[in-house]
Structure 1
């Protein structure tokens, strides 16, 4: 099956993959569904298999309850996943099922026919309050089901806070409180045996733009008015210029990893998604991270009005079916999607520290029962009590807009373009390309 993108979708494809003339959904169809052992064989995309155990957990859990199916994982580059996947879709060599990492390419893939419609599967979940399909619904259709739902939180090193004489975050922080704590930590640790930056801001645009979009009332990517980003960028610039966090240029040029900055105590805190929990626990065990007392706290808020239900962001990570599948392979793929949204799968994912899409009290207890997890109630509350909004609200031009904003992020934080000038330029570009309402 071959699908021809629109002009604007091709602009989006340039961000997700090398430009292609068409997207083709393919992955075995139904003709060669069974392997030499007589089992239905499904291929599934994944990345960083050795350090990302969720794919093996999904595979083994599904195979345990579906003995007639074997899942073969096809590994992609974590940093280049979307590009490689879209190239394979164009070459008709894509896997049978594949994760959609976040919502940014979702509309593009759906509108070009690469994703099978799974609305009938979604309908059976519509009354289940443990799972949220709102952000995957487009024109009353659903084209992937979520297996993970991450939210951004503060990770903080309790021992470094104590060494600097700084009070632990109490769940009421605004951004001003956060910046003040970063200053106190940096200055308080400077003369100790454990000097560290107050915080670490990774190079992703999410670290600035995700919060601005989620927390600013009325903010919309497609509105044509991007001024809501300005105060968040001004604060980020001020913090890096003052030395409370590594500069964007240093983090980029030295390829700094957020895992190492926090895990080896180079920073007393960091803003990051809940997926980092599983990595931190694994690295503590392997020796790639130090063992220290740590905790979770809600992300800073725009003002005190939302501290009772902190506003943060995080896209679901979903699993989609290649639209070319038919016959036994399609049926097996549908069963796989039913499994990944089940309570059984949620417990398996929680058992390795992953926040599953099927969220319940049992999931929270499982995650916080893992060795190395914080034991304080504040950490547990930060993990489960928040208002998580999408980083990439699904829309026809979301992918195009986010692609352009990637360059804007770099221009601002390297100091090459002043904040207001950079935002005005991108507003004009979006208007010229017809990407705003």
Structure 2
């Protein structure tokens, strides 16, 4: 029977009773959010993720580890500690298990964590060492939790670091990222673990304190085959990549070294199963998962390419976590008067055949005259806000084309969508 000791997410110990193994893990850390109840849920979720990374979906028992800060006043202790314990207990119940014991100590710093235990048959867990060349890497939660929590703290303290990052993000964006990250960290990876079985996972780990690259390196070293992990995409909570860039090497988010708390599962899946896995987890949970890299032949190393693609991710109004479409504009609040230095100008050209043959000029769809005609027939009620001006332009080829200068891009884009010509900007 297989066994695992120290080094991966959980230990796997064959029991003296035939065909059964003990799967067990422990974890604890300092609070990182200012909501005690949510902190309890995050701590419990973080402990259980180590079981889920092994494909274990049922936890038989949990213990709670709690360090009560000696610096708490009696009032703070009586409010904070019960809320943390309740959050931990509620998350355990959500996972289908119970808390039956633990240990509480007085400590200079507040601590919370626990122990998760499962007794499994061989088919109930997945050894994390069977990746083969051709597999792909899937991530089930976005990165950036450390950045969002630190940015929120800087905002509250109005520190020098906040004065630096406020040039690229608003207070509302930082607050939303912080709230998003809390609920992302408190979300169980149970569904992700269940689907590992149905889609033939070759191994997984959860992404926590060592960052996406650190955990990928730890996982690749356990593989029986000579493989490398190559990461191309980094799904990040919206605006966190921009903050990380602004702060230089403070976090290492884009380098894969930024610590995460209660992150997603990093899973090795057969290429033909990966897209189905992502589609099914979205169907079941509503949340998106991402294919972020590949497995290829190599020498047990993991790396992120020089310029990885950053995928902005946010929590929508319905509570689901989704990628932000590339065309989505900034979530900065709309003011009565838009602050625009100069009107944005979009130039559309109807290119005659003679001009199209010149390689240095763009080729535009032949449907453009229809769009121009619709603009010319704009209702008079819309003329109060000038949408565009159409003027003839003569090119060096002596061919005359029409130049459309759009002075209200938002209204013009709406008209284009109505005309079903969204590709002509």
Q: Could you state the TM-score of these two structures normalised by the residue count of structure 2?
A: 0.23
Q: Which is strand-richer, 1 or 2?
A: 2
Q: Which is helix-richer, 1 or 2?
A: 1
Q: Which has the higher contact order (CA 8 A, sep 6+)?
A: 1
